[in-house]
Structure 1
Amino acid sequence: MTADLGWSHEVRLVDLSGGPLNLDLEADDAVRAAIARRLDLKELKSLRAKVRLRPWLDGAEMSGRFEAVVEQVSGVSLEVFDQDVSGDIEVRLVPAGSPHAPDPEAEIELDPESPDPPDVLEDDRIDVAAYVVEHLALELDPFPRKPGETFEYAQPSDDDSPFAVLKRLKDEKG
């Protein structure tokens, strides 16, 4: 996903054989503009992540945190506003063919208390930047509104309903 955005930070599983890796990632202006277009944001003003990768079974465990500032358009007032967005990154990954990979044929049991099954990698590389963008996308409010802004719905009076207008027109002609 992020390779087409011009942002990728790949780590091979073999790179973790020496122990955990700590990464600090920050998207530059061009990358942030591409991510903003992809995520339908007015602007992505900053995106930083601190991620730790460590060996886990025959794959890796990724943990960390990202922080971003996004400029969005309020779905209520249509005003542009800045929003701080942050979130934790917790992912387990295994290579294709791993005995620890989830069985695609198995019935899925949903248990919100249990950890997510590991992601299966296509090869031996982890694109850390792709996971940062994915977690940012998951934290974005699909119906953004400025802090403190509320939607006030007022029931239209019966006189303003489309049917009342049609009735008045019919009565006037009639």
Structure 2
Amino acid sequence: MSDWTHLIRLGELARGPIEVRLAPDEAVRAALAKELLLDSLPALVADLRVRPWLDGAEITGRFTATVGQICGISLDPFEQQLTGEIALQMVPAGSPNAYGESEGGELALDLESPDPPDVLESDEIDLAHILVEHLALEIDPFPRKPGAEFNYTPDTPEESPFAVLKALKKDGE
């Protein structure tokens, strides 16, 4: 993971919600592009709101990015705009609100309930790390430049194995 961080301590939320704008500089974006296997990352901006939630924090916001990728069909570089939403809750380790195991060591899953909160390893939340994770989920792993089409026709028609057998049968008649 890159060295870019933006830390907020849970204790800072006691004064109320915190509004944060993350906009990494060119050097950080270049490192992130390399890390995310992008051709380039010309723009990345996120507006986040961190507020107290139970004994942890809730992070909500939006981000926009311009990503440069290589088309998987034409091998031409191209750029595309991405937008994404961030909405997650986090609680400290040992919190009674953390998603735990039920009796017998099994996880109890309820597909209708909202996602459980993430459990923090310390009292710090790295907003930059959260942004990069969400950006990575929005990147198309099979990029296709707009208008690029895959048109493949084999040079010679393939002969089926049965056609070869039929030809042998005619020779042996």
Does the alignment reach a TM-score above 0.5? yes
Correspondence for 1:114: 113
Q: How far does the alpha carbon of each residue in 1:6-29 deviate from its partner, in whole angstroms, 9 at most, with x for none? A: 311000000000100000110111
TM-score (normalised: structure 2): 0.84
Q: Deviation of residue 162 (structure 1)?
A: 9.9
C-alpha distance in structure 2 between counterparts of 1:109 and 1:55, whole Å: 25
C-alpha distance in structure 2 between counterparts of 1:153 and 1:19, whole Å: 59
Identify unmatched segments of 5+ residues in structure 1: none
- For 2:157, which of 153, 156, 159 is the aligned residue? 159
Q: How far does the alpha carbon of each residue in 1:87-125 deviate from its partner, in whole angstroms, 9 at most, with x for none? A: 0001100000001111154425262x5321111000100
Amino acid at match of 1:107: L
Correspondence for 1:94: 91
Closer, same or farther: CA 109–45 of 1 in aligned 2, 3 Å: same
TM-score (normalised: structure 1): 0.84
Closer, same or farther: CA 110–69 of 1 in aligned 2, 3 Å: farther
Please identify the structure whose Cα radius of gyration is greater. 2
C-alpha distance in structure 2 between counterparts of 1:159 and 1:70, whole Å: 40
1:34 aligns with 2:31: yes
- For 1:44, which of 10, 34, 41 is the aligned residue? 41
Amino acid at match of 2:37: D
Correspondence for 2:7: 10
Identify unmatched segments of 5+ residues in structure 2: 169-173
Q: How far does the alpha carbon of each residue in 1:14-54 deviate from its partner, in whole angstroms, 9 at most, with x for none? A: 00001000001101111111111111000010111000000
Correspondence for 1:72: 69
% identical equivalent positions? 51
C-alpha distance in structure 2 between counterparts of 1:161 and 1:43, whole Å: 45
Aligned residues: 161
Name the stretch that deviates more: 95-104 or 12-21.
Answer: 95-104
Correspondence for 2:130: 131
